[in-house]
Structures are given as C-alpha cells and as structure tokens.
Structure 1
Amino acid sequence: MTLKNLRPVTRQSTEAIVIDNLRAFILSGEVAAGGRLTEAAMSEQLGVSRATLRMALHRLAGEGLIEQIPYTGWQVAQLSQQDIWEIWTLRGALESLASRLAVSRDDPQVFAAVEEAYAELESACARGNMRAISAADFALHQVIIDSADHARLAAQYRVVEQQVRMFISTSNLHVATGPDDIIAQHAPLIAAFRARDAQAAADAAWWHDETEGQRLIAWLAQSAARGAEQT
C-alpha cells in the first residue's frame, strides 16, 4: 500500500477561509465589474469581524481582483483594454513556454494529466455550469504550467494567477458563445499535446490567449460604446 497521494488534513485560519470564500465569490461573476462591495453586509453574511474582513479585502486587492476607492469603499476591479492586453500577452508568454516545455519532457504522466484536466473541462461544459466551466478551464492551464517542471516560470504565473482567473471567468461569461465555443478554443492546444508536437503546442497556447484577449478587448469596447450611447 502506498500513501503518497493521501493528502494530510490542514487547518485553515479564519482569515484564510474568508479570503478563499471572497475570492470564489468575486470570480463567480455574481458582482459585476465595478460593483460595490459593502463591508457591513459582507461581514454580517460571513459571520466575521470587520477587521478580519478588511484583511481579506486587502489581500484580494493585492491580487488585482478588487479595488479600494478612497472615501468610498471597495469595488470589483474593472479590467480596461490595457489591462486585458497586458494579462493576455504575459499569460501567453508563460503558457506558450510552459506548453513547449511540457511536451518536450515526453513524460506519459504529463500527457495523462493534461488529458484528465481536459476531460474535466469537457464534463463541466456538458453540465453547463459556468462557475464549474471556468474553474476547469483555469485548472487545465494550471496543469500545463505545473507540467513544465520549471519553478521560476510557475512562480511568475502565481503572481498573475488570480487576474488570469478573472480574465477566464469574464471571457467565458461575456464573450464565449457557449460551452461548445469554450471547448473549441482549447482544441488546437490539446491536439498539439496529443501529437507530441512541442512547437505546435507553444503556438496553440499563444494563439488561444491572443484570440480570447482580442475578443475580450472587443467586448469591452462595445460595452463602453453602448454605455456612452445611454448617457
């Protein structure tokens, strides 16, 4: 009997639990970009003190998920077109390199992990639950990052991890035309992994991030134009 895959139980502090709950709430899209976050209501709902809540809010602000507005309070971060460009280009560079390195390792465990993560995305898309879809979407990309076996690359990815998750959630909610579209976005990348073609995998990863970045920028521009017409 081997116990290497049996993870020990870890105890989380109240602050860590609050951070995790708030992060999941923000990334779910239940509050629109720019939406206000009221400390009193959130602390009551979570059953924690305002001091504990503020600690969590400052952590999420550091991750780029929310913003503190002087004399006003907190709001969900609003990604500008420049923000989207910066996220997708940085994400694309990291994921492209990770894809090349992961395929080049020619390790059966790597390909099995990618296939498993892709199957989870397909399953989530079949169920049609958008929160599960976005979680599985990010998990697939995280598996590829981890499969590169490159500690410094992984560390750089963690710096923008939550902003990438927000990017994915926003794109899937507002830009993708449905679950089939989300699967199609990843098809070239998965095909490259199955072909064991490192260059094709790197190109597909960059193409995926660039395409979705441009679509999201176009959606933001259209939303801004509609807002201007209504004022």
Structure 2
Amino acid sequence: MDTSSIFTVKKVQKRTTEAQAADRLRDAILSGDIPLGARLTEIQMAEQVGVSRGTIRTAFHQLVQEGLLVQVPYTGWTVMTLSAHDAWELYTLRASLEALASRLVAQRVRNEPTADGPSTAITSAFARLKAACSKGNKRVIAQEDMNLHKAIVTLSNHRRLIEQYSLIEHQVRIYIQSSDALVLDPDEIVGQHDPIVRALLQGEEDAAVAFAARHNELEGAILVEHLQKLDQA
C-alpha cells in the first residue's frame, strides 16, 4: 500500500436538518441575537430559519433538553431566563463538578509531565483568555472563559463527569456571560483564574480544588446578589 497518498483529513460530518436548525437557534440565543425571555413560535422560527414546522419543533425539543428553551403548556416556547435562584443552582453545581475536574487534572499534570500532557492544553486555553481580556471584547472574553473551564473538565478524562457537565454547558455559557458583564476591568477576570491555573500546572490537587470552588462561590454570590436587586426593582 502506498502510504504517501494517505493524508490526515477530517471526514464530512453528516448532520440532520433538525440538528442544523438546533445549531442555528442555539447560536442565536448564546450570542444574544435572540434575547433571554423571548417568546418563540414554530411558525415564526420556521420562516426565519427556512425549514418546516416539524423540523423546528424537533429543534425546540432539543434546546429544551439543553435548558435553553422552556415549553410553556398552552402558550408556546420561551427562551430561558436567569433568575437569582437559577444562578445559585448553576454556581453551586459548577463548584462541585469543576472541583472534581480540577483534582483529576492536577493528578494528571503530576503524573504526565510531558509536552502532550494536560499542562499544554491548560496553558493554551488560559493564554486565549488573557488575549481576549487584553482586547476587551466582552462576548469573546465570555467565550474563552467558558472554554477554559470546559477544557479543565474535558482534561479530567472522567467520562461521566464530562457527560454531566455537557447537560448544563449552554446554561453555564449564559451564566458566565452574565457574570463577566459585571466585571468592569477585564484584567480582573484573568486574576480570578490565575490561582486555579497555577495550582493545576503545579499539580497541587488540594489547592486546585480550593481555588476552583472559591472562584465559583465568590463570583456566583456576586451574580446572585445582582439578580436579586434586579428582581426587586
């Protein structure tokens, strides 16, 4: 066999129309083009996306599973909102999941001190967050913030943990966007994550767990208080 003709090329991803429609709607919600709390109808979105009502209905059900849409009986479909209680649930759940991920990743760093080990991926993800903060684009900052946290979870190599995190991933993205929007100086966001990254890169399990939990609890409490004030107003 002539191996000179074999190249590394990604295979074509076959995706159903329903999956593509869900992608379009998800991207619009996460980017803010469809605002939180917006009411959606099958007819309206089928026309805008250019698919059938049945396709949109399937896409809507997918987004309900992801927590981005809420189906209201006899009323229709509404984009999720972020209440103070929602934020509390998300940050307390994240604190548990990400603390476990941090412990496992710190163990891997200590046991796999190689160029292709987890340290490289963590360093790269943190560098992208710092670059985004230096440019000041809030949407990109929130995206890279989420990407860093997701990278840590993924690097845990804990399949069930990764699956559980994926169930709330898109809700967490909206949570992070809302939380980061309250930070006036983007350098503060770098400072929030620096202790976590340092502990991970040094393979210090207890410190990584403590810093990950502390980050979620401190920033989560700030967002909850902000949302409570909005509710009262």
**Shared fold (TM-score, shorter chain, > 0.5):** yes
Instruction: Give the distance between the partners of 1:183 and 1:158, measured in 2 at CA.
Output: 24
Does 2:126 match 1:118? yes
The two structures, once aligned, show a CA RMSD in angstroms of 2.2
What does residue 14 of structure 1 align with?
17
What does residue 143 of structure 2 align with?
135
1:98/1:145 contact within 8 Å kept: yes
Instruction: Give the distance between the partners of 1:38 and 1:124, measured in 2 at CA.
Output: 36
Task: Give the aligned residue type for 2:88.
Answer: W
1:38/1:73 contact within 8 Å kept: yes
**SS at 2:170 equivalent:** helix
What does residue 94 of structure 2 align with?
91
What does residue 37 of structure 2 align with?
34
CA distance 1:39–1:127, shift in 2 (3 Å): farther
Percentage of matched positions with identical amino acids: 42
Matches within 5 A, 1:154-165: 154-165=162-173
2:106/2:202 contact within 8 Å kept: no
What does residue 215 of structure 1 align with?
222
Q: Which blocks of at least 5 consecutive residues in structure 1 are unaligned? A: 227-231
2:106/2:201 contact within 8 Å kept: no
Instruction: Give the distance between the partners of 2:210 and 2:160, measured in 1 at CA.
Output: 21
Instruction: Give the distance between the partners of 2:153 and 2:219, measured in 1 at CA.
Output: 19
By how many angstroms is 1:6 displaced?
4.8
Task: Give the aligned residue type for 2:183.
Answer: A
2:40/2:78 contact within 8 Å kept: yes
Instruction: Give the distance between the partners of 1:184 and 1:42, measured in 2 at CA.
Output: 41
1:84-136: CA deviation from partner (whole Å, max 9, x where unpaired): 22211111111111111101112232011001111111222233333322221
1:95/1:205 contact within 8 Å kept: yes
CA distance 1:38–1:82, shift in 2 (3 Å): same
Instruction: Give the distance between the partners of 2:83 and 2:15, measured in 1 at CA.
Output: 34
1:55-89: CA deviation from partner (whole Å, max 9, x where unpaired): 11111111111112233222211223222222111
Instruction: Give the distance between the partners of 1:149 and 1:66, measured in 2 at CA.
Output: 30
By how many angstroms is 1:170 displaced?
2.1
Matching residue within 100, 107, 123 for 1:104: 107
Q: Which blocks of at least 5 consecutive residues in structure 2 are unaligned? A: none
By how many angstroms is 1:13 displaced?
1.5
Instruction: Give the distance between the partners of 1:214 and 1:203, measured in 2 at CA.
Output: 16
Matches within 5 A, 1:124-203: 124-173=132-181, 175-203=182-210
2:90/2:172 contact within 8 Å kept: yes
TM-score w.r.t. the length of structure 1 is 0.88
Instruction: Give the distance between the partners of 1:162 and 1:123, measured in 2 at CA.
Output: 23
Instruction: Give the distance between the partners of 1:77 and 1:147, measured in 2 at CA.
Output: 29
Does 2:69 match 1:53? no
**SS at 1:74 equivalent:** strand
**SS at 1:68 equivalent:** strand
The list of structure 1 runs, each at least 4 consecutive aligned residues, that deviate by more than 6 angstroms after superposition, is none
Does 2:41 match 1:43? no
Of residues 64-73 and 205-214 in structure 1, the stretch that sits farther from structure 2 once superposed is 64-73
By how many angstroms is 1:217 displaced?
0.5
Task: Give the aligned residue type for 1:95.
Answer: E
